[in-house]
Structure 1
């Protein structure tokens, strides 16, 4: 069953990625000018512009360029950047590594924080602890990413001087050896995504604890720890895991804001630069890889969610 599910998701995902690539390529053609126009100076003659366009391969029909690029991808060749004349893999390799580190660390922090806060609030609904956690989660869910990022830079980084304000001149090894650089960006990322998960876990815990089979388990002498880990947690976390698969848009928007405010050299910054340079091979490669990663992550989360479908304990 799982194999058929994965195969179906892969086939559907491949079609979705292809349609997305075609749409992005078509939209890029609607942008004013092309890579040759961006590179040409005001002193270029029409002949020089035409020569630049020929060297970049822009005089080939758009459909042919797109299909040729797809054919290269099958063999592992993502093409050459129009802007830097470097292989696309070299252009996007470093930025993808930076964004991957940010995304992985966000997930590692997010899951225990959201799970603990949701459980802490749901176990004692209406208590002071519940009200504090709910208020904080609603606050972070309602404040825009860029406002939170700017506030942290203004008051925490510049005002108090606790952490660096930007990543100017910082590379990936420096980020890993000096984790202070990551504190504020990760705070923005986690706060943006954790808030709805906390409320879902809280609601799930409250609903599960009200189920008759939980009371029956108590009567049978099931210990509190075993009750929470074996019966409450799997049934309460199922909806939250499914919601986690729908937070991709929140993570993406968070990455864009974080990279813009903190001058983080990640893939979102590279994508914006590629759009400005009309660098179609780089744009398509970023869209392809992020699309494949999104489908893989969502498929994995769906599989985990199926394993955590609420089940009832027979009395």
Structure 2
């Protein structure tokens, strides 16, 4: 077995082990949540007998280990359980919500990733000159402001004052693609500003690190245009750290959109999770937490595999 394949197998095994450990943490975390789900379902006027019967029907009286094994077994069979407060199948409810979150994350990624790479290349090309300083100042400002504050600022000026886009990002299946894009325009702007700075600065740092190499000097001595030297010689050899930071930010676009979805009332996974946390609907919280963890772990694992495959010393150890 080649070293590259061995490392990839190790990354996959570690990812599965980490997901298993995260499932334990999620289950334990939901056990210690304050409040009583039976009380929240029946209300404050429920009798002790009714509460006891509901807890028995929901399986809340079973030992924690038994409930965890049942939950894990159901997940392996594709059953995420049933929402306690609504009685809906969680997998069915999450399906539409997840597609909305992926739709939002996709368009944010389509804009932010190429823009971050282009700005990073431009910053390297004009290092220590006004374009580099301007790009760095704007990106640092955007990454320093909390995302919910950026969301409210954009909502006030673009949604309320200028009325270019709706302030509430509500979408449904009956809407056309243009109507959906108009509805998610402001959340996409916020997500782009949040992830752009990190990706751009990592792209700049990775390329500047490669620019000190002897083969870059050779390419410059051949008379190649400075931008072509950066794009054709420096950029391909700095792919590994750039891919890592891009994948981390892609994971954020899927996992970290909770605040943005709540700010813009977007019907995605984050809004679904927040709604059921307030109701103490434990199965929904567990399912959402596990899906978020799986997405984050998988994207990080993909970043590790790409880094391994892009390293010639691992592909060709001799």
> Under a length normalisation based on structure 1, what TM-score does the superposition of the two structures give?
0.89
**Aligned residue among 17, 20, 23 for 1:21:** 23
- Whether 1:298 aligns to 2:303 is no
Within-5 A mapping of 1:123-134:
123-134=125-136
Match of 1:195 in 2: 197
Q: Secondary structure of 1:174's partner? A: coil
8 Å CA contact 1:185, 1:258 repeated in 2: yes
> How many equivalent pairs are there?
310
Query: Does the CA contact (< 8 Å) of 1:234 and 1:308 recur in 2?
Result: no
Q: CA deviation at 1:114?
A: 0.3
> Shift in Å at residue 59 of structure 1?
2.3
TM-score by length of 2: 0.88
Trace 1:240-279 onto structure 2 (pairs within 5 A): 240-247=242-249, 250-251=252-253, 254-279=256-281
CA-based RMSD: 2.4
From 94, 97, 102, the equivalent of 1:95 is 97
Question: More deviation in 112-121 or 74-83?
Answer: 74-83
CA separation in 1, counterparts of 2:166 and 2:220?
51
Equivalent in the alignment of 2:211: 209
Residue 154 (structure 1) aligns with? 156
Deviation at 1:53, TM superposition (A): 1.6
Q: Conserved in 2, the CA contact under 8 Å of 1:234 and 1:310? A: no
In structure 1, what is the equivalent of residue 177 of structure 2?
Answer: 176
Partners of 1:17 and 1:253 lie apart in 2 by 15
Q: Which residue of structure 2 lines up, in the alignment, with residue 167 of structure 1?
A: 169
* Alpha-carbon distance in structure 1 between the residues aligned to 2:308 and 2:241: 10
Gaps of 5+ in 2: 314-318
Establish whether residue 233 from structure 1 lines up as the match of residue 227 from structure 2.
no
8 Å CA contact retained: 2:19, 2:293: yes
1:58 Cα deviation (Å)? 1.7
Structure-2 residue corresponding to 1:78: 80
For structure 1, which runs of at least 5 residues remain unmatched after alignment? Answer: none
Q: How far does residue 182 in structure 1 lie from its aligned partner after superposition?
A: 1.4
Shift, 1:28, TM fit: 1.5
Contact in 2 for aligned 1:245/1:302 (Cα 8 Å):
no
Deviating more after overlay: 243-252 vs 150-159: 243-252
- Further displaced range: 151-160 or 301-310: 301-310
> Measured at CA, do residues 7 and 281 of structure 1 come closer, stay the same or move farther in structure 2, by a change above 3 Å?
farther
Deviation per CA, 1:273-304: give whole Å up to 9, x if none: 22222222222222222222222211111222
Out of 95, 107, 110, the position equivalent to 2:109 is 107
